[in-house]
Structure 1
Amino acid sequence: MEAISSAGNKSGNPGRWVALGLLAAIDLTLLYGVTIMYANGETAFALLVLLIITTGTWVFISHKGYSYRYVYPALLGVSVFIVFPLLYTVNVAFTNYSSSNLLPLERVKAIHRAQTYKTPGESYSFKVWQQGENYQLLFISNRDTDKHLLSTPFGELTEPTEVTARLSSALPDGKELAFRDTIKIRHILKLITIVLPDGGSLSMASLREFGPQARIYDEGPNDTLIDSRNGGILTPDMTTGYYVDNSGEQIGPGFTVFNGWNNFIRVIADPGIQGPFLQIFTWTLTFSALSVLFTLIIGLLMACLVQWEPLGGNGVYRLLLILPYAVPAFISILIFRGLFNQNFGEINMLLNMLFGIQPEWFSNGFLAKTMVLIVNTWLGYPYMMILCIGLLKSIPDDLYEASAIDGATPIQNLFKITLPLIIKPLIPLLIASFAFNFNNLVLIALLTDGAPNIIGATTPAGATDLLVSYTFRIAFGQYGQDYGLASAIASFIFLMVGVIAWINLKATRRFTG
């Protein structure tokens, strides 16, 4: 218990008990949240919060956990924002979770059970009277205006309930609700089944009428549903995640089921996914490497230029060259999208006037990739220039003076002095730039949206898609959301990025060692 307070505190120190009380209040609040999440079926989140509670309490109370107090917030952040999302993504990858199979089986069964059909009989218009916290319904026959039915009082409902009705000529006690107030309690009215004096029943058919209706499906054994009209049986198919009828036809909506390695097998074996995936993976590596190379070359040249003493107005040039970095990226990307427009863009207008050509920047795969590299180089070179300016200032001028005496050229100075002295501190930054470009979703989403599309792909895939944009389009694109497949691809991406990071670290140690 001493770990909760400083070493000099005594057991009677009020500060210690205040800290314990605060910790207890936090734990009780979180435990209440765990109970709510578990009751709502969010078992994974409930277990995560429970784990946080137990480990956090142990760290801040136990003497053995005292040394972990200062790293616990960092470990907690890694667990909540990295480890848990990763595990959740991998878990989704083993399911058929998608826009077509979004709900659990129990919810889909409830949706089917709620379906009704109109049966022969009379419909009644109705009015609602409120008596304190209770309500009564007055039913008016559409055939015989002198025939009225009055329901027994009922209150707030949370599950389907039967309410009896009797013939009556008197109005209910209380206040008649206006139509707008009736609309507010429609969620209660939908749960009511009115039992008539003759044994028939009514249920809410619209906001103005109750009518004779019956449920289409009755519940059978093993989650089956029996059609009350013809005796047909709907059986849950735990492979596809749909109810199927006697003829094998799937009845939507679908439900989520675990489908094992199916999503991973689709990525590896389905030609419509495997081919585009490998093509996009190759382009992602190429794009990331070329972006780092081009931005480094231009940034280093610009840094050398603005550092050249005979050049007047260095500060002005430095400011102008850094401007692309100061402008928000999404603005620059959208401007370039307009400039590269195939029909009305200024770039094609200029090329047409000079050379009589109008390149199809968004339709041709090679030109689209070239355009993406041009735009990304423009956006990225100021960052490299800033880095190189700082590194160039750390190189002693004596080296360049000595090389000038020996008659070295500027090119020799670049490759014999400048690059060897700045490359070691620059390598970690180049690796970080590579990782950023590897996941540069904003550039692709705003500039090309992956276009042009890859022919033969069974999922949304484009020639300029990066792995991150490809996964994003599968999960949240307008052509359907297949979260299970997207999670499987994201798992592959995680493994690939992990291997690339390991290779980069090994290469960095060897190069800088």
Structure 2
Amino acid sequence: MKRAASTASSPATAWLKWPLVLALALSGLYLVFTVFAAGQVWWAMGLLVFLASAFFVYLSKISFAYRYLYPGLAGMAIFVALPLLFTVQIGFSNYSSSNLLTQERVRGYLLEQTVPDDAHLKRFSLHAEGAEFRLALRPVDEQGEPGEIMYVSAPLALLHAQPPAKIEMQAFVASPQTAATPLGPALSLKEVLRHREVLQRLVLSLPATATEPQAQELHYLGVSEFGPLNRVWRANADGSLTLNSDGVVYKPNGDTGFFESPTGERLQPGYKVFAGLKNYARMVLDPDFRGPFFAIFLWTVGFSALTVLFTLLIGMALAVLLNWEALRFKTTYRTLLFLPYAVPGFISILVFKGLFNQNFGEINAILDALFGIKPAWFADPLLAKTMLLIVNTWLGYPYIMVLCTGLLKAIPSDLYEASAIAGAGPLTNFFKITTPLIAKPLTPLLVGVFAFNFNNFVLIALLTDGRPDFLNTKVPAGQTDILVSYTYRIAFQDSGQDFGLAAAVSTVIFLMVAVMSLVNLRLMKANSK
């Protein structure tokens, strides 16, 4: 009966399946075409490969295991591998706030630049004419009653209701005596400004006259003037641009990513070019960048290593103490000591920022009362680093304490009983029994803690923001910055947004963390044997 029901439902399922597949395929191809039409060829090819692989996996007779694995593999490729490759690619370019666009877009932007033609400016006045308005234009240097006026009749009140767009209107020439209807009184400046949005959209096509032998297009240039616009740049066949005002030629420089004149003057904005290993070489060869970079690198390693050391000492000491059988209220103590880990880190960091305030913080108030000193925690580099280690140790020791507590519970109590019979003391038990038994399982976890603090951006950003800064550096750098916060400052803050250099530093950080991850895996593999 079941086989028959399945056979009977198969044609209906197939009838619904293939139209749905066809609709999805057409939608996907339309999306690919849209991306391709936008000029993103590589993104369109990647999207096409992704859609084709998805259809192949779910429509072919491939093993069902691949159908379950595909979403995870696709997600890893899109959200892990693709951003990583994109970051590495940026690291080999000059991508920055001054070099954001492609060369074609920069050229188009420059060719669109215009300047008013001061020799052909027209003063205008706006006159009411029933439901419409009349625009009267005259040369700016003409005084008194003009002999010839250019008129434009425009229902500006109705144009206010139209969506923003360029409005082209024809003008006609007449004298005040031959005009069809005389001009009414000119509107005041306040009334003219009410129609400013519509006036800005007007493009007046003026016919040729005896004084102006060529037809002109006039644009709104201010509250009292219309005039033609002249192009600033002229494109040349070799890809260079000529400045129309003085004829200077600006050629694209593939090394710097700017249009440059023969004297080296650069046009803004620049465009993206391949920079090779320049960003990586800058870390090593540029003395103004190398000094702060290596200082920050050493502090990052020291900060991570000292955090692991201090949290390990405190966390293990508390775990051993809480494992003491004769200690009363152990659960209460363990709960209280775990609170720094339970409270969100950014809240604790901001609380400590207030506690360490030089003038109003409670820590300086206590030190002033006891010793008469008020340390400048945020101004002195050594004190700022000490403060970071204190706060990070406070935030990190509960995690180590919990790890050590679990590992201590796994040690057989018979070992300690035999040690007590042999007359060994607590220190002997700790160094001969406890430490050897928890060292192997704890080592990979400590490597993970080191890697986490290597990229502990939140602590630096919220507590010191990398300050105090190094002096006389090309790229602003803080003495309490770690590599990840330094990279953030290069990319998004007060360093000119040098995305290429930031991507290069990020790639170096990734390689370091990858090496630490490999070491961690090796240690875990060795401990499992």
The TM-score range, normalised by the shorter chain, is 0.7 to 0.9
1:196 corresponding residue in structure 2: 207
Residue 205 (structure 1) aligned to one of 188, 202, 221 = 221
Superposed displacement of residue 24, structure 1: 4.2
Question: Does residue 141 of the first structure (1) align with residue 137 of the second (2)?
Answer: yes
Tell me the distance in 2 between the aligned counterparts of 1:428 and 1:27.
47
Matched, 1:506 2:522: yes
Corresponding position of 1:46 = 44
2:413 to 394, 397, 418: 397
Report the equivalent of 2:212. Answer: none
The 2-side partners of 1:23 and 1:394 are apart by 55
- Give the conservation status (yes or no) of the 8 Å contact 1:138–1:150: yes
Deviations 1:331-372 (A, max 9, x none): 111121222223332222322332333333223333222211
Q: What are the ranges of 5 or more consecutive residues in structure 2 without an aligned counterpart?
A: 1-5, 127-131, 140-145, 182-191, 210-214
Report the Cα offset of residue 437 of structure 1: 0.9
Instruction: Tell whether the 8 Å contact from 1:123 to 1:212 is kept in structure 2 after alignment.
Output: no
Unpaired segments ≥5 residues, structure 1? 1-7, 128-135, 172-177
- Residues 150 and 166 of structure 1 are in contact (CA less than 8 Å); yes or no, is this contact kept in structure 2? no
- Structure 1 letter corresponding to 2:172: R
1:227 and 1:362 map into 2 onto residues whose CA distance is 51
Could you tell me which amino acid in structure 1 is paired with residue 368 of structure 2?
Answer: N
Q: 1:483 aligns with which of 473, 494, 499?
A: 499
Work out the CA distance in 2 between the residues paired with 1:381 and 1:447: 18
Paired residue secondary structure (2:100): strand
**What is the alpha-carbon root mean square deviation over aligned residues?**
3.5
In structure 2, what is the equivalent of residue 335 of structure 1? 351
Label 1:126 to 1:454 Cα distance change in 2 as closer, same or farther (>3 A): same
> Do residues 97 (structure 1) and 100 (structure 2) align?
no
Residue-by-residue CA offset, 1:448-471 (whole Å, 9 max, x unaligned):
111222344321222221111111
2-side partners of 1:342 and 1:440: how far apart?
24
Return the match for 1:166 from 172, 187, 203. 172
- How many pairs align? 491
- CA change 1:219–1:447 in 2 (3 A) is same
| Residues 455 and 484 in structure 2, CA contact (< 8 A), matched pair in contact too | yes
1:19 offset after TM fit, Å? 4.8
Residues 30 and 53, structure 1, Cα contact 8 Å, conserved in 2: yes
Measured in 1, the distance between the counterparts of 2:436 and 2:125 equals 88
Q: Provide closer, same or farther for how the CA distance between residues 510 and 479 of structure 1 changes in structure 2, counting only shifts above 3 A.
A: same
Q: Return closer, same or farther for 1:64/1:28 CA change in 2, 3 Å cut-off.
A: same
1:382 matched to 2:388: no
- Against the structure 1 CA distance between its residues 63 and 445, is the aligned structure 2 distance closer, same or farther, given a 3 Å change threshold? same
Matched, 1:79 2:39: no
Q: Aligned with 1:320: secondary structure?
A: helix
One-letter amino acid matched to 1:183: E
Return closer, same or farther for 1:208/1:68 CA change in 2, 3 Å cut-off. Answer: farther
The structural deviation recorded for 1:88 is 0.8
Q: 1:258-315 deviations in whole A, cap 9, x for unaligned?
A: 2222212212211122222222222222222222222222122222333333322222
User: 1:54/1:357 Cα in 2 relative to 1: closer, same or farther (>3 Å)?
Assistant: same
1:181-330 counterparts in 2 under 5 A? 183=197, 189=201, 192=203, 194-198=205-209, 199-206=215-222, 210-330=226-346
Question: Which letter maps to 2:354?
Answer: G
Partner in structure 2 of residue 464 of structure 1: 480
Three-state SS of the structure 1 residue aligned to 2:238 is helix
**Is it true that 1:347 corresponds to 2:347 in the alignment?**
no
Equivalent residue of 1:117, what SS?
strand
Matched, 1:121 2:120: yes
- What is the one-letter code of the residue matched to 2:96? S
Q: 1:423 to 1:239 in 2, by over 3 A?
A: same
Q: Which moved more, 1:143-152 or 1:36-45?
A: 143-152
Contact 1:450 1:462 (C-alpha < 8 Å) held by counterparts:
yes
**Residues 150 and 167, structure 1, Cα contact 8 Å, conserved in 2:** no
Query: SS where residue 250 of structure 1 aligns?
Result: coil
SS in 2 for 1:229: coil
**Aligned-pair CA distance for 1:117:** 2.0
How far apart are 1:415 and its partner, in Å?
A: 2.5
Supply the distance in 1 between the matched residues of 2:149 and 2:204 (Cα, whole angstroms): 23
365, 370, 378: which one pairs with 1:362?
378
CA distance in 1, matches of 2:204, 2:243: 20
| Residues 1:170 and 1:250: Cα distance change in structure 2 (over 3 Å) | farther
Tell me by how many angstroms 1:508 deviates.
4.2
Indicate how the Cα distance of structure 1 residues 412 and 26 shifts in structure 2: closer, same or farther if over 3 A, else same.
farther
Give the CA deviation at 1:474.
0.5
Distance 1:413 1:331, change over 3 A: same
Deviation at 1:445, TM superposition (A): 0.8
User: Do the aligned residues in 2 keep the contact of 1:151 with 1:165 (CA within 8 Å)?
Assistant: no
Would you say the 8 A contact 2:124–2:136 is kept in 1?
Answer: yes
Change (3 A) 1:207 1:112: farther
Q: Equivalents in 2 of 1:14, 1:392: separation in Å?
A: 63
TM superposition shift of 1:167: 4.2
C-alpha distance in 2, partners of 1:157/1:228? 31
CA deviation profile, 1:22-52 (whole Å, cap 9, x unmatched): 4444443333333222333333433332221
Give the whole-Å Cα distance in 1 for the aligned partners of 2:284 and 2:222: 51
Larger mean Cα displacement after TM superposition, 485-494 or 451-460: 451-460
- Residue 10 of structure 1 deviates from its aligned partner by 8.9
The answer (yes or no) to whether the contact 2:443–2:523 under 8 Å persists in 1 is no
Using the size of structure 1 for normalisation, the TM-score is 0.84
Is 1:329–1:379's contact at 8 Å kept on the other side of the alignment? yes
| Cα deviation, residue 206, structure 1 | 4.5
Name the SS for the 1:51 alignment partner: helix
Following the alignment from structure 2 to structure 1, what is the Cα–Cα distance between the partners of residues 252 and 90? 20
- Seen in structure 2, the aligned counterparts of structure 1 residues 345 and 214 have a Cα distance that, compared at 3 Å, is same
The change in CA–CA distance for 1:208 and 1:421 in structure 2 (over 3 A counts) is farther
Q: Supply the distance in 1 between the matched residues of 2:484 and 2:509 (Cα, whole angstroms).
A: 8
Q: Structure 1 residue 440: deviation in Å?
A: 0.6
Q: 2:14 & 2:307 partners in 1: Cα distance?
A: 56
Cα 1:509/1:500, change in 2 over 3 Å: same
* Residues in 2 aligned to 1:219 and 1:403: alpha-carbon distance in whole angstroms: 90
Compared with structure 1, are the counterparts of its residues 406 and 475 closer, same or farther at alpha carbon in structure 2 (3 Å cutoff)? same
Shift of 1:193: 6.7
